[in-house]
Amino acid sequence: MEYFLNIMGSEWMIIIFVALILLFGTNKLPEAGKKIGKMVGEYNKAKTEMQNQINDMTKAEPENPTIEGPVQTERQKLERMAQTLRINTENKSDIELKNAIDAKFGPKEDSSENKFTN
C-alpha cells in the first residue's frame, strides 16, 4: 500500500513556519527575518545594477544608428550614419560609405532565394 502526503501550497507554508519556530525559537525569528530581508534587498540592488549596466551597454552599441534632425542630401544621411557607427568619412565616396555601413551590419540575407532547394 502506497502512502504519500497530499499537501497543498498553503499547507507547506504552515509546515515551514512551524519548523522555523521549532529550530530557532520565537526569539530568533525576527533576526532571521531581518537577515532574509537584507539578502532580498541586496539581490534586488544587484539585479537593478546589472539591468542598468546592460541598458547602458546596449545604448552605446553602434548597431542601432539614429539620425537626428532632417537631412538635406543623401550624402548628409550617409555621413551621419557613418559617424554614429564610428566610421571615418574623410575622402570616401558615397559608395565607399555605403559599403562600410553595410559591412558593420553584416551580410544581407536574400529572402528571394529559396535556401532549401535541392
pLDDT digits (tens, 9 = 90+) for 82-111: 888 888 888 888 888 888 888 887 766 655
Higher pLDDT, 67 or 35: 35
One domain for residues 49 and 79? no
Q: Which of 6-20, 68-82, 98-112 has the lowest mean pLDDT?
A: 98-112
Query: Structurally, how many domains does the chain consist of?
Result: 2
At 49, is the pLDDT very low, low, confident or very high (cuts 50, 70, 90)?
very high
One domain for residues 79 and 44? no
Q: Which domain holds residue 55?
A: 11-60
Using the Cα atoms of residue 85, residue 91, residue 92 and residue 93 in order, give the sign of their dihedral.
positive
Neighbouring CB atoms inside 10 A of 114's CB total: 6
One domain for residues 51 and 86? no
One domain for residues 52 and 78? no
Query: Which is nearest to 84 in space by CA: 107, 108, 103, 101?
Result: 101
Query: What are the residues whose beta carbons fall under 8 Å from the beta carbon of 1, sequence distance 6 or more?
Result: none
Contact by Cβ (8 Å): 62, 84? yes
For the entire predicted model, the pTM comes to 0.35
Task: Examine residue 27 and state whether it is found in any structural domain, yes or no.
Answer: yes
Task: Examine residue 18 and state whether it is found in any structural domain, yes or no.
Answer: yes
Q: Is the pLDDT of residue 5 over 50?
A: yes
Q: Is the pLDDT of residue 11 over 70?
A: yes
Task: Examine residue 41 and state whether it is found in any structural domain, yes or no.
Answer: yes
Task: Examine residue 2 and state whether it is found in any structural domain, yes or no.
Answer: no
